[in-house]
Structure 1
Amino acid sequence: MAPLIAIVGSDGSGKSTVGQALLEWMGEQRPAMLCHLGKQSGNLGRAIGRMPMIGRRMDRTIQKTVKDAGSRKGPSPIAALAIYAFSLRRLRRFRRMLAMRRQGIAILADRFPQLDVPDGLDGPGFGKVRHDRGIARTLAVREQKHFEWMTAHAPDLVIRLHVDVETAMLRKPDHDPAALAKKIARISDLRFGGTVPIVDIDTSQPLAIVVAEAKAAVAAMLERQPA
């Protein structure tokens, strides 16, 4: 089976930059692909916001729906369906990733699904909202099963990126500092069952050092794998 390497970290930790550098390096030795396994709801919202005439209005509607879903009353049926739809989109991405891996393509996975922090950091969408009643309860059970299936496909290596809040904010100035600090503090809680090799890298260091440490971790993992 081709290697599967998960790159995890908060926003602003450099997941995309490190992933791209590793992809170029690994691609010189074997077929490799960088797969984004997140739901990408933020990208969708930004794309809608750029649409002429109706973009901003639709984006405001999406943001209000997200805010209402996180309230104490929980998501409306429409919001619950939207959360589940993004979960299904993520499931499809994961299945496509597995298919490419079976074809012998080494995978670098950005935003690998996890269950250690259920209310964030690429955990279940319903982990962030109240889901103990109505359609949200039914869909949350289904989503949980999807995540249990995905996380059962453990990566061969997890590269866990750490960053300080100041550096992350320089890279993501549009983010809320308090929310970003909370995500950063919980990165160490991502253990993937405690059976997966994890390498921690401080991405507040110069990029050349970060990439060198990531390459060394991958090289060591590849040496351990049977030929």
Structure 2
Amino acid sequence: MTPRGPIIALVGADGSGKTTTGSALLSWMRQDRPVEFCHLGKQTGNWGRAIARLPLMGSRMDRRIVQTTDKARTSGKTRFFPALIIFILSMRRVIRFRRMLKLNRQGLAILTDRYPQVVVPGPMDGPGLVFSEENSGVVQALACLERGLYAWMASYRPDLVIRLNVDLQTAIARKPDHRRASLERKIADVPQIDFGGAPILDLDATEPSATVISKAEAAIADVLQRHDSQKLEPSCSC
């Protein structure tokens, strides 16, 4: 049986430098082993910004979507159609996660952008639906099923989580097209996520990119070395 490869999760709010850091780490890791990059997010933010750029009704439609999702997360009250959309988007993440697991079981090392978690509901890769007695039985069932799926994904703990922490002003400067309130919430949520006790490397994403990447490479090198050593250990046939 092929031993699974290590999973390195790169997490952080928009504007924390995940794309820059992830690209550098992927190139570096591929120098001595096969590595697959897996984006595990739903990418709904990209959709929202695309809708907002539509002529005439785009900005109004975007505001309506934001109001609906914010209401669902804060009050817990969600009508059937918005709940169904939220659940379908979560299933999109589940499909991506299953593909990642398949690659990982083939022995490939995995570098992920974003990683599902169940500790903090909301936009930082947590469940989108919350329980409320005001919701219908169908919506409650969707919320229960969604939370179960996130709990299942979160049960696969990464071998290392690289958590990029950034302040609001830096994030806004890097992502001027993003909503301020959304960035603020994500930045506040990032430190609260523990990923089931997985090892976490906290990095200050406001430091120079070369410094952030160097620190991340050192931590990943330790993980890869331990993983390679374990593969070389003889198994007991007693």
Tell me whether 1:168 sits opposite 2:171 in the alignment. Answer: yes
Deviation of the 1:52 alpha carbon: 7.5
3-state SS of paired residue (2:10): strand
Match of 1:207 in 2: 209
Q: Assess, with a 3 A threshold, how the Cα gap between structure 1 residues 103 and 73 changes in structure 2: closer, same or farther.
A: closer
Q: Percent same amino acid at aligned positions?
A: 49
Amino acid at match of 2:78: P
Instruction: State the Cα RMSD in Å.
Output: 2.4
Deviation of the 1:57 alpha carbon: 7.0
Structure 2 residues without counterparts, runs of 5 or longer: 232-238
Q: Assess, with a 3 A threshold, how the Cα gap between structure 1 residues 44 and 185 changes in structure 2: closer, same or farther.
A: closer
- Name which of 65, 74, 77 aligns with 2:77: 74
Q: Assess, with a 3 A threshold, how the Cα gap between structure 1 residues 7 and 130 changes in structure 2: closer, same or farther.
A: farther
How many aligned positions are there? 225
1:185-204 alignment, distance < 5 Å: 185-194=188-197, 196-204=198-206
Q: Assess, with a 3 A threshold, how the Cα gap between structure 1 residues 51 and 224 changes in structure 2: closer, same or farther.
A: same
Tell me whether 1:141 sits opposite 2:144 in the alignment. Answer: yes
For residues 93-131 of structure 1, give each alpha carbon's deviation from its aligned partner in whole angstroms, at most 9, with x where no partner exists.
Answer: 10011111122221111110012212441110114x857
3-state SS of paired residue (1:114): coil
Deviation of the 1:13 alpha carbon: 0.9
Amino acid at match of 1:7: L
3-state SS of paired residue (2:129): helix
3-state SS of paired residue (1:125): coil
Deviation of the 1:155 alpha carbon: 0.6
3-state SS of paired residue (1:153): coil
Q: Distance in 1 between matches of 2:74 and 2:187?
A: 23
Match of 1:100 in 2: 103
- Name which of 87, 91, 114 aligns with 2:90: 87
Deviation of the 1:136 alpha carbon: 1.9
Q: Assess, with a 3 A threshold, how the Cα gap between structure 1 residues 67 and 201 changes in structure 2: closer, same or farther.
A: closer
Deviation of the 1:65 alpha carbon: 4.1
* Segment of structure 1 superposing worse, 60-69 or 8-17: 60-69
**TM-score when normalising by structure 1:** 0.87
Q: Assess, with a 3 A threshold, how the Cα gap between structure 1 residues 64 and 117 changes in structure 2: closer, same or farther.
A: closer
Deviation of the 1:46 alpha carbon: 3.4
Amino acid at match of 2:100: M
Amino acid at match of 1:151: A
**TM-score when normalising by structure 2:** 0.84
Q: Distance in 1 between matches of 2:209 and 2:70?
A: 36
Deviation of the 1:151 alpha carbon: 0.6
Confirm or deny: 8 A CA contact 2:7 2:159 kept in the other structure.
yes
Amino acid at match of 1:89: R
Deviation of the 1:201 alpha carbon: 0.9
For residues 69-92 of structure 1, give each alpha carbon's deviation from its aligned partner in whole angstroms, at most 9, with x where no partner exists.
Answer: 457472221101001000111100
Q: Assess, with a 3 A threshold, how the Cα gap between structure 1 residues 209 and 102 changes in structure 2: closer, same or farther.
A: same
- Name which of 122, 125, 146 aligns with 2:125: 122
Confirm or deny: 8 A CA contact 1:49 1:55 kept in the other structure.
yes
Q: Assess, with a 3 A threshold, how the Cα gap between structure 1 residues 212 and 57 changes in structure 2: closer, same or farther.
A: same
Deviation of the 1:44 alpha carbon: 2.5
* Segment of structure 1 superposing worse, 83-92 or 185-194: 185-194
- Name which of 34, 39, 50 aligns with 1:36: 39
